[in-house]
Chains A and B, each alone.
Chain A
Amino acid sequence: MAPPEIYPLAQTQAAITSHSFNADRSEVAVSLNSNDVQIFAREGHEWKPTETLSEHDKLITSIDWAPNSNRIVTAAQDRNAYVWQQSPDPQTGRMIWKPTLVLLRINRAATHVRWSPNEDKFAVASGARAIAICSFDPEGDWWVSRLLKKPIRSTVHSVDWHPNNVLLAAGSADMKARVFSAYIKDVDKRPAASVWGEKLPFNTVCGEYTSPTGGWVHAVGFSPSGDALAFASHDSSISIVYPGGPAIYTIKLTSLPLLTLTWTNENSLIAAGHDCQPLVFSGSDGGWELTGSLDDPNSAKSAGGSRAGLASPVGRLNSAAFNTFRNADTRGIGSAPGGSGESELFTVHQNTITSVRPYAGTPGAVTRVSTSGLDGKLVVWDVNQVTPVGATGLAGRMAGLRV
């Protein structure tokens, strides 16, 4: 039962917009809210910056490091994606990362990118109401993109690949999560029939699910078997879909919306977002529930007191900004310049978590996950160390809330 490993990667409290580890977790690629990718290498208990990948000229939105082929794909607001490959420098012989531009043919920002399980394709979500499916064309020696367009009506926020390398889930701002076929004739073998359908030509819509109370969909994820789909939306809810049933289970949270999720096994997933803590959900095709949080708000006091000494454990609503306004409103006290000492939250992450990814274990038996967020921290959690919902969980945090 190891406590979470906390690595403050961003020295200047810059946000981490995206993070992705390499196969043996000795290196991590992050973007510190900028146009550059920073690669950090592990040295004992610290991460040292080793390389900077500069090619994008707008903010990088997403990074994915393919574990087997050791290639990095990056997507950015400049509407481009680059595939980075290591090759020896002709002069020094040192291994350096070489970018290849991918023509996405989109006219809005790229928002999210993921390699397919076989690493022969990747999907780029975008604000152009389209998802670019890119595959390598050896004759032209470039990456070609095919667009999934229909029936997407708004920005696509996230994508996730089915383990069969063909189906793709997408969550978008038109309040819907969808499952598409991203079958490409030259790359894929004919996929076996699954719960999502049998005949799967490119751009087949295999499923379309609306968020329960009109929230745009932030995150989507297939279960390890691919037979279930989870999506989190901005109405503070998470839904798990079993297309075979067909059954949809929705959990409405009492806390703020979730932005990112990952499955740890067939019956459990971890999601995190504006509430700054990774939540654990578990269930099966018979029903789902919130079981707890990986973040124990009470453990901090024994672990050195860095997070202790707070007035009340009420989560984000009682943050410094809230207090500043309340003091100004009720007591006429203006804000003291630089007085941000009380902004610390009870959670490990001090701001919204934007990404949660598997860290250790195999798909279907993930033992540890990594999270990164707007506070510039990278945290590795043990998925079995769950603090149950109850006195110290969400209900406890909300109990002291005064609006």
Chain B
Amino acid sequence: MDVNFRKIDIDQYDEDVLLESELYEPDPRDPAQVVSDAKQKATAVRSSLAKGDIVGALTLALTDAPYGPNVDEAKNLNLQTLVSILNSTKSSEIPGVVKSLPPDSQDTLMKYLYKGMALPGWGDLSGSVLLVWHEKLTEAAGTGCIVRAMTDRRLV
């Protein structure tokens, strides 16, 4: 059967098409502001990590995470910050850490885990580390957390 018709962009024939930008509230911050926030957070996270405060570092990195268009630099920066936290956590500490995160941060962490899995070989990302975090996070926050990471259009 000829299935090429499925590749036709039918939305271009619809004057009342639903746009991606209408599906979520845009980040109220200016892109430049988002980048400088991310840089500040990276520094703060490093000092938290030096003190061994994993939960504090994670909460910092996951609060006001950059999303939406035009903030790719900040997104990469925040992902790098987050990966450094994930990599420096002992696997025995992970269950305690994910349980003590507030639900919103758990959802954001899940988004970053899936983003990390979609970028094999990016920076010092390791698949096995991501999978351990994913397993522990799912035990703490349930499948609902995965569903939320998949439905949310505010991509990190």
Contact = CB atoms under 8 A, between A and B. Distances in A.
Nearest to A403: B138
A174 B23 CA distance: 7
A254 B135 contact: no
A65 to B, nearest CB: 33
B154 A174 contact: no
Which of B22, B103, B138, B151 has the most chain A CB atoms closer than 10 A to its own CB?
B151
B39 interface: no
Nearest to A215: B151
B105 to A, nearest CB: 12
Interface stretch (B3-11, B77-85, B140-148): B140-148
Contact of B142 (A174, A175, A235, A255): A255
Contacts of B139: 398-399, 401
A323 interface: no
Interface in A246-280: 252-257
Contacts of A214: 23-24, 151-154
A255 B151 contact: no
A252 B143 contact: no
A153 interface: yes
A317 interface: yes
Nearest to B149: A213
B139 to A, nearest CB: 6
A252 B152 contact: no
Contact of A255 (B107, B134, B144): B144
A80 interface: no
Contact of A213 (B18, B142, B143, B152): B152
B124 interface: no
Contacts of A398: 139, 142-143
B148 A252 contact: yes
Contacts of A254: 141-145
Task: Tell me the interface secondary structure of chain B in the complex.
Answer: helix
Given A153-B18, A213-B152, A317 B147 contact: no
A65 B57 CA distance: 56
Contacts of B148: 213, 215, 235-237, 252
B25 interface: yes
Interface residues of A, number: 28
Interface in B114-155: 134-135, 138-139, 141-145, 147-148, 151-154
Contacts of B154: 213-214
Given A153-B18, A402-B135, A403-B134, A253 B151 contact: no
Interface residues of B, number: 23
B18 A394 contact: no
A174 B152 contact: no
B21 to A, nearest CB: 12
Contact of A256 (B25, B134, B147): B147
Nearest to A256: B143
B151 A235 contact: yes
Interface in B4-41: 16, 18, 22-25
Interface string A209-220: 010011110000
A290 to B, nearest CB: 11
A234 B138 contact: no
A235 B23 CA distance: 14
A174 B143 contact: no
A167 B147 CA distance: 32
Contacts of A256: 143-144, 147
Interface of A: 129, 153-154, 174-175, 210, 213-216, 234-237, 252-257, 315, 317, 394, 398-399, 401-403
Interface of B: 16, 18, 22-25, 103, 107, 134-135, 138-139, 141-145, 147-148, 151-154
19 contacts: A153-B22, A154-B18, A213-B151, A215-B152, A216-B151, A236-B143, A236-B144, A237-B144, A252-B144, A252-B148, A254-B142, A254-B143, A256-B143, A257-B147, A398-B142, A399-B139, A401-B142, A401-B143, A402-B135
Given A235-B152, A401-B139, 19 more contacts: A174-B22, A174-B23, A175-B24, A214-B152, A214-B153, A215-B147, A215-B151, A234-B147, A235-B151, A236-B143, A236-B144, A236-B148, A252-B144, A254-B142, A254-B144, A255-B143, A256-B147, A317-B143, A401-B138
